[in-house]
Amino acid sequence: MFESWRGVVGDIKPTHRPGSLEEFIKLLPEGIGVIPLTVGIRSGTEKEFHDVLDEYRQKAAELAGLGVNLIHIGGAPPMMVHGFAGEDRIVKDLEAKHGIPVSTSGKSQTEAMHALGVKNFVGVTYFPERMNQIFTRYFSEADLRSRRWKESKWTLTTWEDYPAKRSMPTPRKLF
């Protein structure tokens, strides 16, 4: 239905917050169109992440009906709460139903880290401990070992700041 000379990505964002869509578009080569939809996550709780799965499925169906070439499910936590294998089943079900490739934030992260040879990494989130345990399990299931800080109120402007804030060795790879 909608065309762009290199194709169209349907991007399902978890929230209505601005910023991530603009950054996503900057990463794409010129000539790729984007049709964004949102599921409207507000509280960011484990329950809400489980509850929005049907809404993600509805948005994927809507995008498939518009004729996109790829569906990207944004927001890692809503898929990670289902585990690595659970997310894989969700993706395969959507691909089989709509005949369109589907990617997720979590799959993109794990595939990139595997491609770069990353085995261990540090994850920094603003989520509570229970959610961080879910993320740790997800990455473990993807054969990656995540290490995270309990306190994550500060941000890193460069990796040079990292050793000063934590007595750990400087990472070899930044993702």
Amino acid at 155: T
pLDDT single digits (tens) 98-131: 999 999 999 999 999 999 999 888 887 888 889 9
Cα separation, 48 vs 15, in Å, equals 12
Please tell me the pTM assigned to this model.
Answer: 0.83
pLDDT of residue 158: 47
Low-confidence stretches of the chain (pLDDT < 70) are 1-2, 148-175
Helix (H) or strand (E) holding 102: strand 102-104
pLDDT of residue 120: 87
pLDDT of residue 127: 85
In the chain, domain spans? 7-165
- Structurally, at CATH architecture level, domain 7-165 sits in 3-Layer(aba) Sandwich (3.40)
Give the CA angle between residues 125, 59, 131 to the nearest 5°: 20
123-128: long-range contacts at Cβ-Cβ below 8 A with a sequence spacing of 24 or more? Answer: 123/147, 123/148, 124/148, 124/149, 124/152, 124/156, 125/152, 126/152, 126/153, 127/44, 127/77
